[in-house]
Amino acid sequence: MPQHPTTALYVRLPQPESEKLDRAATALATNKKTLVTNLVHRYVDPDTVEGMESLRDLAATHRRVSIAPPDERVAVGHHHFTPAAAPEVLTAAQAADLLQVSESEIEALAERGELPGRRIGDQWRFARSALLTWLAES
């Protein structure tokens, strides 16, 4: 493959695929850049109908979200995001959001021992799973 100027590329891969790429690079005594470059060279062909069909099949596994701006005259770029995982340990404010009550009600229930939680210093912490179990059993 001829040498060309390079462009920086930053991608976040799911951990299993990242580990797979690491193992392949180590086993082949090469680097990930070389592997990814050759994979793109060999398998990504946006200039043919067949190439685009193959890419569509791969891209179909990802969800695409489109947002229509209120002013149709302005539309710039695109955005891709992965929602953050819900935290396992919640503050009183987060517990209140989860249970859809006020933070003061959460603290009052916890103080009376009616809601599963632990005081750490002057703050309350709650296990998401314990709150959902408590809610289901109430």
Instruction: Tell me if 109 sits within 8 A of 71, measured CB to CB.
Output: no
Q: What is the pTM of this model?
A: 0.43
Q: What is the percentage of the chain residues whose pLDDT exceeds 70?
A: 82
On average, the pLDDT of the chain sits at 85
| pLDDT at residue 67 in the model | 64
- Bigger pLDDT: 44 vs 58: 44
- Weakest mean pLDDT among 2-16, 51-65, 87-101, 114-128: 51-65
Model pLDDT, residue 119? 95
pLDDT in the model for residue 128: 94
| Token pair listed for 116 | 């599963």
Is the model's pLDDT at 138 over the cut of 70?
no
Q: How far apart are CA 33 and CA 51, in angstroms?
A: 22
**In angstroms, what CA-CA distances link 85 with 6, 82, 89, 135?**
34, 9, 12, 21
* 126: pLDDT strictly greater than 90: yes
Residue 92 · residue 126 · CB < 8 Å: yes
pLDDT at 132: 93
Task: Please name which of 76, 81, 83, 9 lies closest in space to residue 44, comparing C-alpha atoms.
Answer: 9
30 DSSP 8-state letter: S
Q: What is the pLDDT of residue 9?
A: 82
> What pLDDT band is residue 76 in, cutting at 50, 70 and 90?
low
Confidence category of residue 58, pLDDT binned at 50, 70, 90? confident
Each residue of 88-120: b (16+ CB within 10 Å) or e?
eebebebbbebbeeeeeebbebbeeeebebeee
Residue 39 has pLDDT above 90, yes or no: no
